[in-house]
Amino acid sequence: MPEITKTPGNNEGVQFDFKTLFINVAKKEIADHQEYYNGKRHIKVKLCADGAKYSRGCNFCLFSFSILRDGVVNLSSSNIHVIAAIRAKEDYESLADEFRDIFAAINFYLDDPAITINGNTYTLEFFLCADYKLLLLIMGLKAASAEYSCLWCTVHKDDRYNMTLTHCPRSLSDLKGNGDFSNIHKPLLNLDLDHIIPDELHLMLRVTDRLITALIQTAKSYDQHQHRLERIRRAYKVLDGERIKNLIAAIRECGVYFNIYEDDESGKVEWPSLLGPDKLKLLKNLPDKLVGCQPPEMVPLTQNLWKDFDLIYSIVTSRMPTRHHQLRESTKKWINDYLDLGKEFKYGDFYYPDKVTPYMHLLCAHLSDFIDKYDNVKQFSCQGVEKKNDVAKVLYHRKSDGDKEEEEKGDGKTVGKKKMRR
């Protein structure tokens, strides 16, 4: 195991020497899978970056790698090898400063992708996988809210809903950090853009965020209109609305705890963010429960929108996607159906073109290209490094609780772990 050292920046962080760690892991990989590497001199390396908020004001980012084999999808966290962990904001300067040694080592291999192990020379092929925010940061682009926020083409944000346009593709050579098309920094990795793969899990999470938001806001708008029609004297409250109450009940019937909160002063409506397993439950079960939760005329199209996205996501996550040839047309139809809800119905404000997000554009304009090229994108999922981050978060809080106990003992008092955690 290589020596652990501090990352070179001013933030808290630790790192391994990438080259030493990689050679150690590659040697074991080749020894464990001799039949696969017999006569094969090509190693595919998946790089993953994942940030997480561990507590208020405390953000960590892990950078890791794993080795891929053709035809094998291994999402176990044991296959993930963490290179560095930093406590810092997710911004370009922090990543460039703290991970500079790692980026330099990887860029060295990108320029000369050959490595000798046990007397054999192997060609290295690197892929970068992360959520959209980190991909944009690492490649030197502005945030997802920028005018040109697509990493793979130069579509303007006002046009990303339009599936009839032919979008101009980006290339690594275009990313010069000169401000053109929202590119404000030089890339931290000199990686071709067709080797930068979006994480399918984050794609599902963000698209379902948009679908859930549309359900809630549409139900709210309909209930407000009914409140005015009925000339009810008392002030309108979101939780008094029939559609909102039915929607909360329908989500709970899917086995997902859910509630909606209204700020008494501002009237702003909020709801908890759901985890991946809960959102998958909603994709499977919620569409058939939407009667009474939306304006009656919108229910059939809304049900189809949810069911079609569930089908699309099943193709995206398939390890052997036999229907991937259908994906391009299916996603284009899906985005047009989404927009039809805004065009055809009075309460469809939340299905307008300006509500189409970068993830939705990616789904419809680019994802099928990755599946065509690499057979599936499930192999590039960041689920393993997400699990690593979950473990690190538990260790962080365990250490924090222990430190608090030591402080209490210093005053001659012992406070139990249960009480401290409470």
pLDDT per position as a tens digit, 265-295:
777 889 998 999 999 999 999 999 999 999 9
Q: Higher confidence at residue 377 or residue 319?
A: 377
Count the domains in the chain.
Answer: 3
Are residues 152 and 121 located together in one domain of the fold?
no
d(CA 113, CA 420): 51
Q: Is residue 391 in some structural domain?
A: no
> Hey, what are 375's tokens?
């057979």
Are residues 59 and 155 located together in one domain of the fold?
no
323 falls in which pLDDT band (50, 70, 90)?
A: low
Are residues 24 and 106 located together in one domain of the fold?
yes
Q: How much is the pLDDT for 322?
A: 63
Are residues 29 and 67 located together in one domain of the fold?
yes
Angle between helices 358-365 and 327-344 (to 10 degrees): 140
Q: What is the mean pLDDT of the chain?
A: 89
Q: Is residue 389 in some structural domain?
A: no
Domain interval for residue 346: 201-378
In the predicted structure, residue 78 carries a pLDDT above the cut 90: no
Q: Is residue 18 in some structural domain?
A: yes
Q: How much is the pLDDT for 414?
A: 41
Q: Is residue 383 in some structural domain?
A: no
Q: Is residue 385 in some structural domain?
A: no
Angle between helices 276-285 and 299-316 (to 10 degrees): 130
Q: 233 CB contacts (<8 Å, ≥6 apart)?
A: none
Which of 98, 130, 162 finishes a domain? 130
Q: Is residue 352 in some structural domain?
A: yes
| 40, containing H or E segment | none
Are residues 93 and 235 located together in one domain of the fold?
no
Are residues 346 and 246 located together in one domain of the fold?
yes
Are residues 207 and 189 located together in one domain of the fold?
no
Q: How much is the pLDDT for 415?
A: 36
Of the listed ranges 17-21, 95-99, 292-296, 323-327, the one predicted with least confidence: 323-327
> Hey, what are 166's tokens?
């032919």
Are residues 284 and 153 located together in one domain of the fold?
no
Q: Is residue 422 in some structural domain?
A: no
Residue owning tokens 């979950």? 390
Are residues 278 and 358 located together in one domain of the fold?
yes
Mean per-residue pLDDT, 383-403? 74
d(CA 350, CA 264): 23
Are residues 18 and 111 located together in one domain of the fold?
yes
Are residues 174 and 316 located together in one domain of the fold?
no
Which of 130, 155, 176 finishes a domain? 130
Are residues 359 and 222 located together in one domain of the fold?
yes
420 falls in which pLDDT band (50, 70, 90)?
A: very low
